[in-house]
Structure 1
Amino acid sequence: MKIAKEYRWEMGHRLPFHEGKCKNLHGHSYKCMVEINGEPDKNGMVLDYYDMKKIIKPIIEELDHSFMVWSGDKEVIEFLDKINSKKVIVDFQSTAENICLYLLERIKKTDLPKNINTLKVKVFETENTYAEEEISLK
């Protein structure tokens, strides 16, 4: 059985390696769909949506209205520090694919119930572009 919940946040980033517009500072209205597949419990629930929100919402809150910056982008980190802006420093380029993997790893590290078999995250960077990955928890 599969359940899913959608989350949204606003976040800035840049891709310094990019040869097009994405090398510039910019942001997106991100959306992600988190799907959990597992065996329903005795009450017929894979996971209560309230419990799902308690697990995932703090991760999204950390990202919301922040700037995700690669740890090697020293100029931007210095600038964000200077203006006292919220930032999330990561050891990867902030592509949709890498953000998807980041969310998967963060969720996987939480205390998920043992009945969960797989976890899938789909990150929409724009209305019509996304990255998606699924992992087994068994």
Structure 2
Amino acid sequence: MRIAKEFTWEMGHRLPFHEGKCRNLHGHSYKMMVELDGKPDCNGMVLDYYDVKSIINPLVEELDHACLVFSGDIELQELLKKIDSRMVVVDFHSTAENLVGYFLKKINEVGLPNNIEKVTVKVLETENTYAEDTIELISH
């Protein structure tokens, strides 16, 4: 059985390695779908949606209305510090693909109930572009 919940946030970023427009500082209205595959409990629930929200919301709120900055992008870090702007510094470039990996890792670190077998994260930068990946959870 699969359940899913959608999350949204606003975030700025840039891709300093990129030769196109994405090299410039810009932002997106991100949307993320988190899918959890697992066996329903005796009441017929895979996981209460409230519990899904309590696991994912802190991860999303950390990024909401912040600028996600690659640790090697010193220029942008200095600029954001100078203008006292909110930033989250990470050790990866802020592509949609890398954001999916970031969320999967964070969700796995938080820990999920034993009945959850698989987690899929889909991150949309725009309404028609997204990256998606799935991890299988080893019995825990």
TM range (shorter): over 0.9
Q: Deviations over 1:71-101 (max 9, x none)?
A: 0000100111111111110101100000111
> Is residue 9 of structure 2 the alignment partner of residue 24 of structure 1?
no
Give ranges in structure 2 of 5+ residues lacking alignment. none
CA distance in 2, matches of 1:54, 1:105: 16
Percent identity, please: 65
Aligned to 1:116: 116
Q: Deviations over 1:35-72 (max 9, x none)?
A: 00001111110000000000000000001000000000
Paired residues, number: 138
Alignment TM-score, normalising by the size of structure 1:
0.98
CA distance in 1, matches of 2:136, 2:113: 14
Aligned to 1:88: 88
Aligned to 2:62: 62
Give ranges in structure 1 of 5+ residues lacking alignment. none
Aligned to 1:41: 41
Aligned to 2:10: 10
Task: Report the 3-state secondary structure (helix = DSSP H, G, I; strand = E; otherwise coil) of the residue aligned with 1:130.
Answer: strand
Q: What amino acid is aligned across from residue 92 of structure 1 in structure 2?
A: F
Q: Which shows bigger deviation, 77-86 or 31-40? A: 77-86
Task: Report the 3-state secondary structure (helix = DSSP H, G, I; strand = E; otherwise coil) of the residue aligned with 1:100.
Answer: helix
Q: What amino acid is aligned across from residue 131 of structure 2 in structure 1?
A: A
Aligned to 1:106: 106
Alignment TM-score, normalising by the size of structure 2:
0.97
Give the superposed CA RMSD: 0.6
Shift of 1:111: 2.7
